[in-house]
Chains A and B, each alone.
Chain A
Amino acid sequence: MKHRFEVVYSMDTTLGCAVAAYLDAEHYAFLHSKYSPHYEVVRKEGRTIRIRQTWTYGGVRIGQSCTTEYAPPARFLNYDIEGLPVFLPSVHHLVKTRTELFYYPDATGTKTISHLVVDLDVPAPLAMLVPTLERKMVALKKEKDLEDMEMIFRRERLFGRGNIRGYLADHQFMLHKDDFVHHFGSPDAERRAGELALEVAPTTARREGVPELGI
C-alpha cells in the first residue's frame, strides 16, 4: 500500500538561513542529540551522502542508515532507509520511506515555506499503522525544525535577520559548501535561488495562508 502525505508550514526566516541551518551538519549530533547522538558518514558521491545515525538503547546501539541528497538550491531528499543493526526487527524492514523536502519563499519573500512530501510503502496488513507513522513523522519533523529555529532566532537577535556571513566564511564547514555559496553567496544570488526553488516546488505548493511552524 502506497501512502503519500505532506507537511507544510512557514518558518519565520529567510531562505538562506533555512538552507544554511539544514546544511550545517555540525549541529546534527549536538543540537539534535536527542534524535541522533552519533552521526557517521558512510560514503559520499557528489551531492549524495550515505549516513548512519545511532543511539544506545538498553546497552545496544541501534539506529538507521539512509541516503541523503541535496538538489540545489533548496531541495533535500532522504531514501533507502535501513534499520541498524539489520538483524534487529525494525519498521524499516517492512515500511519503505522516501522524503523530499522543499524550501521556497513565501509570497512576501521574507519567510520560508517548509514543504515535506513523504512517500510510504507499507504492506497491506500493516495499513492500520499508517496514521501512527504519519503522526510520529510529523511530530519529529516539527521538533527538529523548532530546535533549528531556536538557533536561527538567536543568531538573528545577535547578528541580524538573514545574516549568513558566519556560514559563508571560508573556514566554516557545511555540507555542499560550494553549492551553498554559489546560490546564497550574495543578495542577488539568494533572490535567484528563491526563484529557482519556486520553479521546482511541488504542484501543491502554497505561498499564502500557510500556518506558522508550531507543535
Chain B
Amino acid sequence: MKILSNGKKAIVLKTGHDIRVYSEVCPHLGADMSEATYCAKAGTLQCRWHGYVFSAKDGTHLDNPNERMMQELREPSAHYRPDRAPRYRLPVVPHTVRGDRLYFTRAEAPQATETIIAVARDEAV
C-alpha cells in the first residue's frame, strides 16, 4: 500500500514482474481496500467491511459470501432488486514502470454511483 502526497492511497500488488495497482476505495460502499485481506494462494482481496471478494489479478468481483449466509432474507421486494446488482470492479490506477520506479498518473473517475478518489500525478513509489 502506498500513501500518496495528496493523502490518498493506492494498493500495489506485485507478483513476479506483474504489477497491479488499484484504488483504495471499494466499489461497493467505499471501504478502505488497503485494509482488505489478501490471499496470495487464491489471488483475491476480501473487503474488511462486507466481505466482498475481488480478483487481485483484474479487480473483478468474484464473490459475496453474504448471499449464502443471508439467503433467506434476500427475497426481491419493491426496493430490493438483486437482479440489478452492478458488476463491481476495483478501480485500476493507471501507472507506468520506469526502471525500478513505479509512476502513477491521475485517473479519470470510474463509473461509480458515488464519488471516487483520484491519485497523484506522476508520483513515484
Residues of chain A touching chain B, judged by Cβ–Cβ distance below 8 Å, are: 24-27, 29-31, 39-41, 43-44, 49, 151, 154-155, 158-160, 163, 165-175, 177-178, 180-181, 185
Contact = CB atoms under 8 A, between A and B. Distances in A.
21 contacts: A25-B73, A26-B50, A26-B51, A26-B66, A29-B51, A29-B65, A30-B48, A30-B50, A31-B48, A31-B49, A39-B70, A151-B49, A159-B30, A163-B114, A166-B29, A170-B80, A170-B81, A171-B80, A174-B80, A177-B77, A177-B80
B70 A41 contact: yes
Contact of A178 (B25, B31, B65, B78): B78
Interface stretch (B11-19, B82-90, B94-102): B82-90
Interface in B29-75: 29-32, 47-51, 64-66, 69-74
B117 interface: yes
Given A151-B49, A165-B113, A168-B79, 8 more contacts: A26-B50, A40-B69, A41-B73, A151-B31, A155-B30, A160-B115, A172-B80, A173-B66
A25 B70 contact: yes
Q: State the majority secondary structure of interface residues on A.
A: mixed
A173 B114 contact: no
Interface residues on B, range: 20 to 34
A35 B65 CA distance: 17
A55 B2 CA distance: 34
Nearest to A181: B79
Contact of B73 (A151, A158, A159, A175): A175
A166 B48 contact: no
A24 to B, nearest CB: 8
A178 to B, nearest CB: 5
A168 B115 CA distance: 16
